Amino acid sequence: MTDAAPAAPANPYAQPAQNPYAAQAGQPQAQQNPYAAPQQQPNPYGAAPAAPVYTGAPAAPSRLNVMGLISLIAGGLAFLLGVTAGWIPFVGFAFVFIALVGLVLGIVGLLAKNKGKGLAIAGTIVSGIALLLTAIISIFMLVVFTSIQQSIEDFGPDDPVITDPDGGQTQNDGDPNALGSANNPASPGDTITFTDFEGTDEWQVVVGAPVLDATADVLAADEYNAEPAAGNQYLVVPVTYTYVGSDSGSPFLIFTQIVGSDAELYDTSYAEYPNSIYDAAELGTGDTAEVNLVFEVPTSAVAGSQLKLNSIFGNDIFVAIG
């Protein structure tokens, strides 16, 4: 009798065989998988309501007073510039305007609703102080500037005065058509009074009757005098200088030139001639000098020519000689 073959060992990892009769026989069923997902149980009350979504709370309105802030900045700027640069004449009025704008904006900021009043109050106060300060400084500097300007005008030279032989006086104020201008020249025989820098009368000058063609006289006055250039001639103008200042002065201080009808200027000639300007002495108060001014001028420019006189401090005076 042969022995039966041994049974194969059971696989410990194999699934246990299902017994269809286990339930009837009261045998225990196979254990549930502990790692399986739990089954969803139906909700007897229906679907759960969705969770509410909360948005951010509405922002509170800003209480920043922009007008008050600008007012404070404008007032501070006007105050700072007013005390530093407001002393420059006329410049300070710009800072007065800035302060005034700051004051108006400060008042507007005070009237604004639902806005902080602190900046508006500060801006109004600062702008008001700046307005008062800059106004005082600007007005003060305007008064000072005007006073200085008036003092300079009073201290400076006065316009020359032209007195005709009959005693009538006209002050040449620099107007292009005033007596003594190129458009309205004075006449020989008129007395021209020039002042010094302080406005005090210093010179009285009288132009005499000119010798329009003095070429022969000038050449005869000195053998070394040169013939005038071709087309030119010598012209002699007698002038009386009287010094009426408080010190002394030389006739050289009154500058003279001939203005020809060709609109060209001609200086005094170096030709030797009696009572030449180059021989004139220093004059004291009340002294008088008779001087002959010699010019070399183109013959074609003599007719209609004028003698121009200037004392440095006053306007040019023109006297008709041609």
Query: Which DSSP state fits 278?
Result: G
- Domain covering 161-320 in this structure, CATH number: 2.60.40.1240
Residue-wise pLDDT for 160-194, tens only, equals: 999 999 999 999 988 999 999 999 999 999 999 99
Q: Which of 10-14, 118-122, 295-299, 307-311 has the lowest mean pLDDT?
A: 10-14
- Mean of the per-residue pLDDT values for the chain? 84
Residue-wise pLDDT for 132-167, tens only, equals: 999 999 999 889 888 887 766 665 568 999 999 999
Residue 126's CB is within 10 A of a number of other CB atoms, namely 23
CA distance 203 to 251: 9
CA distance 276 to 291: 6
Whole-structure pTM value: 0.56
Q: What is the DSSP string of 150-189?
A: HHHHHHSPPPPEEE-TTS-EEE--S-TTSTTSSSS-B-TT
Residue-wise pLDDT for 3-23, tens only, equals: 555 555 555 555 555 555 444
Domain ranges in the chain?
A: 66-155, 161-320
Residue-wise pLDDT for 32-44, tens only, equals: 556 655 565 665 6
Closest CA to 80 of 129, 36, 150, 15: 129
